[in-house]
Structure 1
Amino acid sequence: PARQSFGRSGRGAAADLTGTLLTAWAYAGAGDGKRAYETLNRLRGERYFNVFRDYHAGLIASVIGDRAEAERKLKAAYDADHNTLRIVDGYARFEAGIGRTDLAIDAYSEFEKVMPRHPLVVDALDKLKAGKPLSPLIASAQEGAAEVLYGLGSAGSTQGDELPAVVYLRLALYLAPDHAVGRLTLADALDRMKQVERSNEAYAQIPASSPLKLNADIQIGLNLEQLGRGDEALQHLDTVLKANPDNVDVISALGNVQRARKKFTEATETYTRAINLIEPGREANNWTLFYFRGTAYERAGEWQKAEADLKKALNLVPPTQPNAKAQVLNYLAYSWVDRNMNIDDSFTMLKQAVDLSPRDGMIIDSLGWAYFRLGRWDDAVRELEKAVELKPGDPTINDHLGDAYWRTGRRLEGKFQWQHAKDLNPEPEELAKINAKLKDGLPEPDKPTATAENPPAQDPAQTVPAPVAAPHNAENPELPKGAPAPSEPPGAADKKPGK
C-alpha cells in the first residue's frame, strides 16, 4: 500500500516529515481519522514540525468532518505562524465556512499589514465583505497530499534549493492541477534556475479565473525582457495594462521594462502615472516606485528630480529590508561622489551600505570606485579586490580593478584585469573602452582629484562631467514581499538586461 511506501521514503528530517504527512493523508483518504492523528502525533523534535503537524492535522480534521479538532489545530497553527499565507488562508477559510466571518476578516486584515495587496487576500476579503462564501482550502485527501508536497517545494524554493523544490512542486501539481499558488511558485523557481522559457510556460498555465493571473501576466512580461524580447514584453504589458488601467503593479512593471530598454524618459512618465495612483498613506509600501523613477531620472540627465526621488525612497524604505536600504544608499551616495557633491556624507553612506550588505560585491565595488574617482588609489584597490572576490564574473568590477591597479603602478596586473573583463562579455560601449585601455593604458589624470577630506570648492556643475554610469547594481533592490509586485526588476538599465 501507499502508506508503506511513504514510511520507507528515506531518512533525515525532511524525509521523515514528508513520509509522515503523506501517510497521515493516506489514512485520512481511507476514512481512518484516528490513525491519521496518531501518525501526525509522531512528529516531534524539529521546532517547525509542530506548525506542519498542527496545520495538516487541522486540514485533515476539516476534510473528515471533525469540526472541533479542525478549529483547534488550525488555530494553533495560525497562532504559531500568522505570517505564512497558506496557514492564514487555511485558518480563515475554515472560520468563514463555519460562519465566523469576523475572525476570517481579522486574520486576512492582519496579514495585509505584513504583505499588503496580496491578490489572494484581496480577493478573499472582497468576497467576505460582499457576503460571498469561501471554498475550503483543501477538500480531499488528494488535495491534502498535494499541499504537503507544495509546502516542501515552497520551503525549498525560498531557501534556494530550487531543483528539489521543482520536483516537489511538479508532484503537487500532478495531484492538484488547479493549485494556482503551486504553479506560481514553480514558475518562480524555474525563473531562478534561469529556465525562463519554462517559467513563462508555467505562468501561462495559471487559469484566468485565479486572482494570481494578473501576477502571472506581469511576470511573463518581465521574463520576455529577460529573454531579449523587449518589444514583445512592452506589447504584452501594454495589453495587460489596457485591461487593468489603474493597476499600480502593471504600470510599475511596464516602467521597469522601459528602464531596462534605456527608454528612461518614458519610464519616468510611467512611474509618475503609478505614483499618482498610490492611495493616501500607502507611499511607504510603494517606495520602489520613487527609487526606480529616481534612477530613470538620473539616467535621463534630470539630476535634481532624481536626487529628490532617491532621498524620498531612502526615507520610505522600511528598516526590515536592510539589503534594499543598502541599494538606495549606494545609488544616491555614488551619484553624489560622481558629481563631487556631499563627499563626506557620500562616504558615510557607502560605508553604511557595505555594513548593511557586506557580501554584496557590487556595493563594495561602488565604494572602491568612489575611492578611485577621488584619487585614493590604494583604498580603491583594497575595496575592489574584495569586490572581485565576491563577484568574480562581473566585467564592470574587473574593469574597475584594472583601472585601480594601473593607477598604483601595477600595470601588468591592470592589463590582466582588463583582459579578464573583456573576456566576460561586457556591453559594447564598455568593450570599446577596455580595448582602448589594453592598447594604450590609462591617460594621466588631468588634475588632482578631490578627496573626502578635501572636497572641491568649485561649482561641481562647472567642473565635473556627467556621470560615467550609475552604480551598476542599483537597479536590483530587494522589493517588498507580496504579489503582484515583481520579485525583481528586469535588470540594470546600463547593462545587458538580466537579473
Structure 2
Amino acid sequence: LPPLVDSAQTGAAEALYGIGATLTRRGGEDLALVYLQLALYLAPNHPLALLSLADLYESVKKPAMAIKVYERMPVNSPLRRNAQIQLAINLDAADRSDEAIKILKTVTTEDPKDLEAIMALGNVERGRKKFADCAQTYSQGIDVLPPNNDKSNAVYYYYRGICEERSKQWSKAEADMRKALELQPEQPHVLNYLGYSWIDQGINLDEGMKMIKRAVDQRPDDGYIVDSLGWAYYRIGNYEDAVKNLERAIDLKPEDPTINDHLGDAYWRIGRTQEAKFQWAHARDLKPEAEDLPKIEAKIENGLPDDTSSAASADKKKEDGKGG
C-alpha cells in the first residue's frame, strides 16, 4: 500500500484537515475555518479539505464563498460529482440558477440514474417556477427508482405532483399525491397539499378538511400548514374559525405575504375592515408574487365584493383548475 502521506508538508495538511473536520462536527466553525484554510494552503487540491471547507461556508449561509471552493475540486477527484451537485445548489442560492441547471443537466446526462443529481435539478427548477421542466425531471427520477415501493420514494411523486398542479395538470397531480400517500401514509405536507387543493377547487370538502387537520395535528407549529387550515375554513365560509387559525399562522410566519393576505380577507368577512386593510397593506409590503400584487392593491382600495356564496367562489376556482 502507498503511504498516506509522502512528505512532511502533506502530513501536516492531513493533520490540519483532521482537526478542522472535527471542529466542524462539534460546532466550532470559526476555528475550523482557520484549520481547513491552513490545510489547503499546504495542500491546495486536498479533496476532503475542499469539501469540508465548502460545506462549512454553506452552513454559515455564504454561498458565494462555497462556490469558489467547490470550483477548485480537481476534475479527476472521486469527490468531483458530489462537489458539482453542491456547487449547483449554491449557485442557485446565489441567484445563478441558469448555471446551476446547466451543471446538473451535465451530471444527469453523464449518469441518467443519479437520483441525487436528478432531485437537485428538479428542486432548482421547481424553486424557479419552471414547473413543466421540473415535472419532467422528477419523472426521470421516478423512471429509475428501485421497484421496492420504499416510503422514501414518496417525495418524487409529491414534488412531481406540485409541478403538475402548478402547470395546470390537476388529474396527474392528484394521482401523484395519492401515490405519495400510498407510499408514505399520513405524510403531513402531502396531506396538506392535497387537502388544500381539493378545498380550493370546491371538491372533496370533507375529506380535504380532515386531511389538513391531520397535517396540523402533526405539525402544529408549521405556519404554512396552519394557514392552509385557516384558508380552508375561509373557503367553506366559516370565517370565525378562519380568523382564529390565520392569526395563529401569522404568529408562526409573520413575514409571509400570502398568510397576511389571507388574514386580511378573513378580517373583512367578519366586519373588521380596518384591520383587513392593514393586513393587506402589510402583505403588499412583503413582496408578494407579481401576479398577486394588483389583486392585493385592489383590495386595499375597494375591499372585497359581497360574499354571495363561498360555494360559488369555490366553483369558479374549480373551473379555473387552481389549487393550493
Quickly name the TM-score band, shorter chain normalised: 0.7 to 0.9
Contact 1:169 / 1:182 at 8 angstroms: preserved in 2? no
Q: Counterparts in 2 of 1:39-58, with a 5 A limit? A: none
Stretch of structure 1 that moved more, 397-406 or 217-226:
217-226
Give the unaligned 5+ runs of structure 2. none
Report if aligned partners of 1:338, 1:370 keep a CA contact under 8 Å in 2: yes
1:51 alignment counterpart: none
Tell me the residue number matched to 1:31. none
Query: Secondary structure of the equivalent of 2:202?
Result: coil
Partner of 1:147: 18
Q: What is the RMSD computed on CA atoms of the aligned residues?
A: 3.1
| Alignment match, 2:132 | 265
The structure 1 residue matched to 2:58, chosen from 176, 191, 198, is 191
* Equivalent residue, structure 1, for 2:119: 252
Superposed CA deviations along residues 142-198 of structure 1, whole A, max 9, x for unmatched, are 635533432231343xxxxxxx42542442352365664554454344335432212
2:297 is equivalent to residue 443 of structure 1:
no
Greater Cα offset, 310-319 or 298-307:
310-319
Select between 352-361 and 139-148 the one with higher mean Cα deviation. 139-148
Tell me the distance in 2 between the aligned counterparts of 1:221 and 1:307: 30
Cα 1:167/1:329, change in 2 over 3 Å: farther
Alpha-carbon distance in structure 1 between the residues aligned to 2:82 and 2:273: 51
Which of 310, 314, 330 matches 2:181?
A: 314
In 2, are the aligned partners of 1:224 and 1:232 still within 8 Å (CA)?
yes
Q: Does 1:417 align with 2:279?
A: yes
Residue number in structure 2 paired with 1:286: 153
Change in CA separation of 1:463 and 1:228 when aligned onto 2, cut-off 3 Å: closer
Q: 1:388 aligns with which of 231, 245, 250?
A: 250
> Which structure has the higher relative contact order (CA within 8 Å, separation 6+)?
1
1:206 aligned onto 2:93: no
Equivalent pairs, count:
317
TM-score by length of 2: 0.85
Code of the aligned partner of 1:394: D
Q: Which amino acid aligns with 2:298?
A: A
CA gap of 1:462–1:377, structure 2 versus 1, over 3 A, is: closer
CA distance in 1, matches of 2:168, 2:154: 21
Structure 1 Cα separation of the partners of residues 34 and 24 of structure 2: 9
The one-letter code sitting in structure 1 at the alignment partner of 2:191 is L
Cα distance in 2, alignment partners of residues 404 and 256 from structure 1: 33
Inter-partner Cα distance in structure 2 for 1:468 and 1:431: 18
Of 194, 197, 210, the residue aligned with 1:332 is 194
Is the 2:223–2:249 Cα contact (8 Å) retained in structure 1?
Answer: yes
SS of structure 2 residue aligned to 1:429: coil
**For residue 188 of structure 2, what is the amino acid of its counterpart?**
A
Matched, 1:232 2:232: no
Shift of 1:204: 2.0
- Match of residue 175 from structure 1: 39
Provide the C-alpha distance between the structure 2 equivalents of 1:394 and 1:387, rounded to a whole number of angstroms: 9
| Contact kept in structure 2, 1:150 and 1:169, CA below 8 Å | no
Higher helix share: 2
- Per-residue CA distance 1:383-404 (angstroms, 9 max, x = gap): 1111111111111111111111
Q: 2: distance between equivalents of 1:295 and 1:206? A: 34
Paired with 1:338 and 1:272, the residues of 2 have a C-alpha distance of 26
Rate the CA distance shift 1:268–1:364 in 2: closer, same or farther, 3 A. same
CA contact (8 A) 2:23 2:31 kept: no
SS at match of 2:305: coil
Report the CA distance between 1:382 and its aligned residue: 0.9
- The range that moved more, 344-353 or 166-175, is 166-175
TM-score (norm 1): 0.57
User: Percent of pairs identical after alignment?
Assistant: 44
Computing the radius of gyration over CA atoms, which structure comes out larger, 1 or 2? 1
SS in structure 1 of the partner of residue 308 of structure 2? coil
Question: After TM superposition, what 4+ stretches of structure 1 lie above 6 angstroms from structure 2?
Answer: 133-136, 460-463
Change (3 A) 1:270 1:372: same
Per the TM alignment, residue 303 of structure 1 is displaced from its structure 2 partner at its CA by 1.4
The alpha-carbon distance between structure 1 residues 151 and 250, as it changes in their structure 2 partners (threshold 3 A), is same
